[in-house]
Amino acid sequence: MITLRGLTKRYGEKTVVDGLTFAVEPGKVTGFLGPNGAGKSTTMRMTLGLDAPNDGEVRIDGKRYEDLRFPLREVGALLEAKALHPGRSAGKHLLAMARSNGIPASRVDEVLATVGLSDVAGKRAGTFSLGMGQRLGIAGALLGDPGVLMFDEPVNGLDPDGVRWVRHLMRSLAEEGRTVFVSSHLMSEMQLTADRLVVIGKGKLLADAPVDEFIAGNSRTSVAVRVPAPAELHALEQRLHALGATTEADQGELVVHDLPIHLVGDAVHELGIRVHGLTERTASLEQAYMELTASSVEYGTGVAA
């Protein structure tokens, strides 16, 4: 379990992490989302004692990182991939980490196998591709068999096969009862991987909720109707507006907001008009995320999706 209470970090005049209070629970994958510069990495760095908070605190299973005798056995993290000695082999790199934390050397081969790097254990880490570097970073996080794991953008640089592999790994780590905290900008991937989401913007907490609840609470489901005759389409639009719905045209379909699908169907039936399609459009995590963070984007382009 990771617990944050009023966690705050300032750089000069700027407050980059602003009073964050939330808990990351065991047995779940918790996604950590926010626009560029929202403060995700800074929060993770403070959790690992790499940055000192100006205010508030963060604890791992009730303890401060600094007080952990063998930190790698309690919390494993992938922050910046490739933050390692480029001349050292993958195996030696992990062995050095293991030694410093009283972890048996046999774990090195185990985690190399888990991440699929056994064949390149003797190769210098500096020659690794971005994806191999990510896998090595993940191996390092798993080395101490910790109960808490943090991953900052773990699928960055991975091919589709690697992305799937990370998804399954995260899920299985959570199913083993571990606390899994993972940041990502890939919303479709987060929708598949996470149970819960913590969303921040400009350092402040915007949401802390199960994925389904987050999507339902931050988006509108809509109904798309395809009406071939323009006169009938107009009549339907008027009827729907009278029922309190709002509508918009999208790629030959009438998209209806704020009215459940059965009432849209009833309106069609009552007017006796011909339709070529009536479908519910459920929102994606990406849509919900964009709605929520629209006002928190620091470096936006102003281009709507």
Ligand X SMILES: Nc1ncnc2c1ncn2[C@@H]1O[C@H](COP(=O)(O)OP(=O)(O)OP(=O)(O)O)[C@@H](O)[C@H]1O
Summarize as ranges the residues that interact with ligand X (CB under 6 A): 11, 16, 34, 36-42
CA distance linking residue 129 with residue 196, whole number of Å: 31
Are the CB atoms for 178 and 11 separated by under 8 Å? no
Cβ-based nearer residue to ligand X, 106 or 299: 299
Give dist(CA 192, CA 211) in Å, integer: 10
| Minimum CB–partner distance for residue 80 and ligand X (Å) | 10
Give 248 or 298: the residue with its C-beta nearer to ligand X.
298
Least distance (Å) from ligand X to the CB of residue 1?
22
Spell 166-195 as b/e; 16+ CB within 10 A means b: bbebbbebbeeebbbbbbbebbebbbbbbb
- Reported as half-sphere exposure (CB side, CA atoms, 13 A), residue 278 has a value of 16
Least CB distance from residue 10 to ligand X, whole Å?
A: 9
Minimum distance from residue 149 beta carbon to ligand X (Å): 17
Rounded distance between C-alpha atoms, residue 193 and residue 31, angstroms: 8
Query: Strand locations in the chain, DSSP E?
Result: 2-11, 14-24, 28-33, 55-60, 75-78, 148-152, 179-183, 196-201, 204-210, 222-226, 246-250, 253-257, 277-281
Minimum gap (Å) between residue 248 Cβ and ligand X: 32
Residue closer to ligand X, measured from CB, 27 or 56: 56
CA distance 191 to 241: 33
CB of 97 or CB of 180, closer to ligand X? 180
35 vs 91, which CB is nearer to ligand X?
35
The nearer residue to ligand X, 14 or 241, going by C-beta atoms, is 14
What lies within 8 Å, CB to CB, of 53 at 6+ separation is 7, 8, 9, 17, 46
**Closest approach of ligand X to the CB of residue 167, in Å:** 20
- Closest approach, Cβ 228 to ligand X, in A, equals 46
Nearer to ligand X, 68 or 79 (CB): 79
